[in-house]
């Protein structure tokens, strides 16, 4: 483990071309629900509307926090819907962040 650095959960997926309204509602709910997970830090998501490929990267304090999110009952329900309705495929990677750099335009 890397003291003070987060664990990243990387979710890459390709959406199906149906259930858009239902998907949006579930996605919004999961965006809000993950923030209530102890040890959650932040996340970022994007999806290409043409290819339907997307990535969500969520950052947590440690692997136990990732496991809590994975086993959240409402999230488990969303996972089942994802496999049955929302996604053609997905890949999940969990990785330790080994180094972090920051830069911004000076004020």
What are the pLDDT digits (tens) for 44-95? 999 999 999 999 999 999 999 999 999 999 999 999 999 999 999 999 999 9
Query: 7-96: what CATH class?
Result: alpha beta
pLDDT at 1: 52
Phi, psi of 52, rounded to the nearest 5 degrees: 65, 10
The whole-angstrom separation of Cα 79 and Cα 33 is: 14
Q: How far is CA 10 from the centre of its chain?
A: 6
Residue 25: C-alpha distances to residues 1, 2, 86 (Å): 35, 36, 12
**97 conformational bin, left if phi > 0, alpha if psi -120 to 50, beta if neither:** beta
Q: What is the pTM of this model?
A: 0.91
Report residue 2's pLDDT band, with 50, 70 and 90 as the boundaries: low
Q: What are the boundaries of each domain within the chain?
A: 7-96
């Amino acid at each position: 483990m890397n003291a003070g650095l987060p664990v990243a959960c990387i979710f890459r997926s390709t959406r199906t071309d149906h259930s858009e309204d239902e998907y949006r509602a579930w996605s919004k709910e999961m965006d809000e629900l993950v923030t209530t997970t102890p040890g959650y830090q932040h996340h970022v998501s994007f999806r290409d509307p043409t290819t339907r490929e997307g990535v969500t990267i969520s950052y947590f304090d440690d692997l136990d926090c990732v496991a809590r999110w994975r086993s959240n009952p409402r999230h488990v329900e969303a996972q089942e819907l994802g496999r049955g309705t929302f996604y053609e495929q997905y890949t999940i990677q969990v990785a330790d962040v080994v180094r972090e750099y920051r830069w911004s335009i000076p004020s």
